[in-house]
Chain A
Amino acid sequence: QKEVEQNSGPLSVPEGAIASLNCTYSDRGSQSFFWYRQYSGKSPELIMSIYSNGDKEDGRFTAQLNKASQYVSLLIRDSQPSDSATYLCAVRKYNAGNMLTFGGGTRLMVKP
């Protein structure tokens, strides 16, 4: 079992719809959770971080965390074609280095 799992997709949604991206993680010691967006051939860019159970909203993006279920999700409201990218879920465990463990990413396609 991978430490961080994501459905690879592609997830296809029409423009204006809500896109829902999901991620599960295996280590209960995980403390911090991040969503990165990666366009093809580019490097990851941070969209959201979340550290405590519940929802966190930033513009069209909402991150949801449920530590009991070891589940984190990202909702994108009013999806735009420019949101088409791969979304990477990343988890940080408490350790000296604080490195991130990434899932394989979910490819999102927003169709006009």
Chain B
Amino acid sequence: DTGVSQDPRHKITKRGQNVTFRCDPISEHNRLYWYRQTLGQGPEFLTYFQNEAQLEKSRLLSDRFSAERPKGSFSTLEIQRTEQGDSAMYLCASRPEGETQYFGPGTRLLVL
């Protein structure tokens, strides 16, 4: 499978715990995006990488969220001290030089 992959697909955690998600983009795509989607809403932009550089970060992203893409390949998104409001689907997307963003299957987070 040469598409975007995300791991884990599902995560249940208790409030206050830290969680980390991983995204592996399509191999030749140097641009990577994280979005968050809650039930009944469209995805909301969180952050954007071009190669290893984090070029944009949404104002929605609190300081409990951090993302990295250390070698310009896979990316991780960490949420510290999770809150119930963090429960959502976390989507990763990648794109090449062209316009189209290709989405991964998402990681569904439930914070109890």
B1 contacts which chain A residues (CB < 8 A)? none
Number of interface residues of B (CB under 8 A): 23
| CB-defined contacts of B48 to chain A, threshold 8 Å | 97-99
Contacts of A52-94 to chain B: CB distance below 8 A:
88, 90, 92
The reply to whether A42 and B105 contact each other, CB–CB distance below 8 Å, is: yes
B residues 19-63 near A (Cβ < 8 Å) are 31, 33, 35, 40-45, 48, 55-56
Is B103 in contact with chain A by the CB < 8 A criterion?
Answer: yes
B42 touches A45 (CB 8 A): no
Instruction: Check if A46 sits within 8 Å of B44, measured CB to CB.
Output: no
Within 8 A of B (CB), among A17-54: 32, 34, 36, 42-46, 49, 51
Contact B56 A99 (CB under 8 A): yes
B45 to chain A: which residues have CB within 8 Å? 99-101
CB pair B43–A44 under 8 Å, yes or no, is yes
Partner of A97, one of B55, B91, B99, B100: B55
- Docked-complex contact A49 and B99, CB < 8 angstroms: yes
Closest A residue to B4 using CB positions: A43
* Nearest CB in chain B: distance from A61 CB, A: 15
Chain A residues with Cβ below 8 Å from B91 are 43-44
Seed contacts A98-B99, A99-B56; 10 additional CB < 8 Å A-B pairs:
A8-B40, A34-B100, A43-B106, A51-B99, A92-B99, A95-B56, A96-B55, A101-B45, A103-B42, A105-B41
